[in-house]
Amino acid sequence: MGGILTSKAHEHDADDPVTNISWSDAIVWCNALTEYLNEHFGMKLDFAYYSDAGFQARPERRR
């Protein structure tokens, strides 16, 4: 139809990516997943993201 793009709202599936989250929320989620895997599956993963240059403080979870 003449190259006109239309936007159709679609219902989100469980396989759809997450959108509209902040970078800091994504970092907290990644660190929480690392913590979960270490605790529940005995893994020895290091946290990938820290909030300081000394690699000591992880970003805090917001409640």
pLDDT digits (tens, 9 = 90+) for 33-59: 999 999 999 999 988 777 666 666 666
CA-atom Rg of the chain in angstroms: 18
Residue 8 domain-assigned (yes or no): no
Residue 36 domain-assigned (yes or no): yes
Name the most confidently modeled range: 3-12, 18-27, 35-44: 35-44
Residue 14 domain-assigned (yes or no): no
The count of structural domains within the chain is: 1
- What's this model's pTM, rounded to 2 decimal places? 0.58
Beta strands in the chain (DSSP E): none
Q: Using the CB atoms, write b or e for 30-57: b if 16+ within 10 Å.
A: ebeebeeeeeeeeeeeeeeeeeeeeeee
DSSP state of 16: S
- The residue segments making up the domain with residue 58 are 20-63
pLDDT value, residue 15: 85
**For residue 24, pLDDT beyond 70:** yes
**What would the two tokens of residue 49 be?**
């993201």
Residue 51 domain-assigned (yes or no): yes
Chain centre to alpha carbon of residue 18: 8
